[in-house]
Amino acid sequence: MCDYSLEMYRSQPAREGVEYRTHRFPSHTVGLVSPADTQTAVCVQCGMQMRLDGIPADIRREFGVGDNESVTFIRIEDGMHHDGVAFANGQCVPLQRLGPDIRVTVTDALAGPRLPERIAETA
């Protein structure tokens, strides 16, 4: 998904194994872009697994995470911006709070729908 405030920009879907960066668009919304094309928003599906590298010190302290973390892309219902990530420790943060220039690599692009583990075992 791309936050509604990025609808005015060209967009492309995120791809597994590709490195992106968080970027502050002229609309002041933080989203993902390819370092080679900062005018095109990269849209991520909820549930995609990503690796963040270069998490700012204030975010690390506030959310109890390291410089590099594996996260899940989520939709946050509260607030003006809805794109966010969930850390392995359960803490959630909007992309807006992460700020620009964090390296983001999609590690699992959800090639197809997934069933919860307990349902998959009975199938």
Q: So what's the pLDDT on residue 2?
A: 65
Tokens 């807006």 correspond to 96
| The model scores a pTM over 0.95 | no
Residue 22, Cβ neighbours under 10 Å: how many?
Answer: 19
Confidence of residue 82 (pLDDT cuts 50, 70, 90): confident
Nearest in space to 23 (alpha carbons), one of 36, 32, 11, 14: 32
For residue range 106-116, what is the model confidence (pLDDT) as tens digits?
Answer: 998 764 444 34
Q: Which residues contact 79 (CB under 8 A, 6 or more apart)?
A: 94
The gap from C-alpha 65 to its chain's centroid, in whole angstroms, comes to 16
Domains of the chain, by residue range, sit at: 4-122
Q: So what's the pLDDT on residue 53?
A: 98
Measure the CA–CA gap between 115 and 37, rounded to whole angstroms.
35
